[in-house]
């Protein structure tokens, strides 16, 4: 489980790097993927540490 979360965080970081590349032609799709992964990570983090 922790490996999956680490992998997703790595994907988010890589996607951010790709989106900053001026030659990137899919920044909108990458932005949507980043938002989706960040939402999933936040949801899983909240389920493990309820407030």
Residue-wise pLDDT for 1-51, tens only, equals 788 889 989 999 999 999 999 999 999 999 999 999 999 989 988 877 765
Cα 47 to Cα 14: distance, rounded to the nearest angstrom: 25
pTM recorded for the entire structure: 0.75
Task: Output the pLDDT for position 33.
Answer: 93
d(CA 22, CA 32): 18
Please give the residue range of the domain that contains residue 37.
Answer: 2-48
Number of domains the chain contains: 1
User: What is the token pair recorded at 20?
Assistant: 């900053």
Q: Are 30 and 37 in contact (CB under 8 A)?
A: no
pLDDT of res. 51: 59
- Per-residue pLDDT, 50: 65
């Amino acid at each position: 489980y922790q490996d999956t979360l680490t992998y997703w965080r790595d994907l988010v970081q890589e996607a951010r790097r790709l989106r900053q590349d001026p030659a990137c032609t899919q920044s909108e799709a990458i932005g949507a993927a980043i938002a989706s992964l960040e939402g999933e990570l936040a949801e899983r983090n909240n389920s493990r540490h309820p407030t």
